[in-house]
Amino acid sequence: MSSIGIVGAGNIGAAFARALARNGLSATIANSRGPQTLSGLTAELAPHIRAGTIEQAAAADLVLIAVPWSKLPAALSGLPDWAGRIVIDANNPIEAPLFKPAELNGRLSSEIVAGLVPGARLVKAFNHLFANLVSGDPRAEGGSRVLFYSGDDVAAKAEVGALIARLGFAGIDLGPLAVGGSLTQFPGGPLPALNLVKFG
Ligand SMILES: NC(=O)c1ccc[n+]([C@@H]2O[C@H](COP(=O)([O-])OP(=O)(O)OC[C@H]3O[C@@H](n4cnc5c(N)ncnc54)[C@H](OP(=O)(O)O)[C@@H]3O)[C@@H](O)[C@H]2O)c1
């Protein structure tokens, strides 16, 4: 099993950590203020979730990034080349308190994130559900909650798809980033904030 890191320990980073821990998976999680500030979360999710530095979290085989849009460049600067490791882009180009969409100049938000993680194989996922639906039990209405993912690297996408399935979600591969990234982009795409269930 690949090692897992989480950069960003707020709503979505912590929700992903809870989903991992509930399924017996381990990860290293980091925020901007240092591991010592995450003792509450790591006590809740022991022994599966450990706090680390951003460098430690980002060194994992598979790294979920969940940081406010305007903070992404600072969070990801100065890290070594990603050397083919997998990045899950859970970010949306809009943030509290103003909720003003960021200027993307016609690009997909994941294309911009990809530029911040040179050498990574990027898969967009975990950006389109509210945090409580990421951390909560994905079994619902007699089926499984749908989680969309997309990306251009087929092998990376298969690995993320396997993780999504391991967490109990019904993963749906939307194809390359140009397709899936557009469908799940928030704001703008038609799929975010839907709570869908797949049967069978
Ligand atoms: N909230 C949702 O339901 C939801 C759903 C889907 C996607 N998203 C997306 O997920 C991303 C995170 O959202 P959120 O709601 O989880 O945000 P949040 O609750 O505000 O948490 C943000 C996290 O990012 C960390 N961070 C900020 N600057 C950093 C830096 N320079 N280096 C390392 N870590 C840094 C913060 O650490 P400190 O606390 O130490 O500053 C905090 O742990 C956003 O792009 C958002 O659009 C959110």
Token pair for residue 60? 């994992």
pLDDT per residue as tens digits for the range 148-181:
999 999 999 999 999 999 999 999 999 999 999 9
Cβ(9) – ligand 1 distance below 6 Å: yes
Q: Which whole number is the average pLDDT over 90-118? A: 96
Contact 177, 151 (CB under 8 A): yes
Q: Using the 8-state DSSP alphabet, how is residue 101 labeled? A: P
Q: In the chain, which ranges are continuous DSSP H helix?
A: 11-22, 39-45, 54-58, 72-76, 109-116, 131-135, 154-166, 177-183
Cβ(127) – ligand 1 distance below 6 Å: yes
pLDDT over threshold 90, residue 1: no
pLDDT given at position 200: 82
Domain ranges of the chain: 4-198
Cβ(187) – ligand 1 distance below 6 Å: no
Cβ(8) – ligand 1 distance below 6 Å: yes
Whole-model pTM: value is 0.98
Q: In the chain, count of helices (H) and strands (E)? A: 8, 10
Partners of 123 in beta bridges: 88, 151
- Give the span between the Cα atoms of 47 and 158, in whole angstroms: 27
76: which residues sit within 8 A by CB, 6+ positions away?
7, 58, 65, 67, 116, 117
% of the chain beyond a pLDDT of 90: 98
Residue of the CA atom closest to atom 43 of ligand 1: 9
Q: Per-residue confidence at 58, pLDDT binned at 50, 70, 90?
A: very high
- Give the span between the Cα atoms of 187 and 93, in whole angstroms: 8
pLDDT per residue as tens digits for the range 125-156:
999 999 999 999 999 999 999 999 999 999 99
Partners of 49 in beta bridges: 27
Residue of the CA atom closest to atom 41 of ligand 1: 32
pLDDT given at position 65: 99
Cβ(109) – ligand 1 distance below 6 Å: no
Contact 135, 10 (CB under 8 A): no
- CATH fit for domain 4-198, picks 3.40.50.2300, 3.40.50.300, 3.60.150.10, 3.40.50.720: 3.40.50.720
Instruction: Please state whether 38 falls in left (phi above 0), alpha (psi between -120 and 50) or beta.
Output: alpha
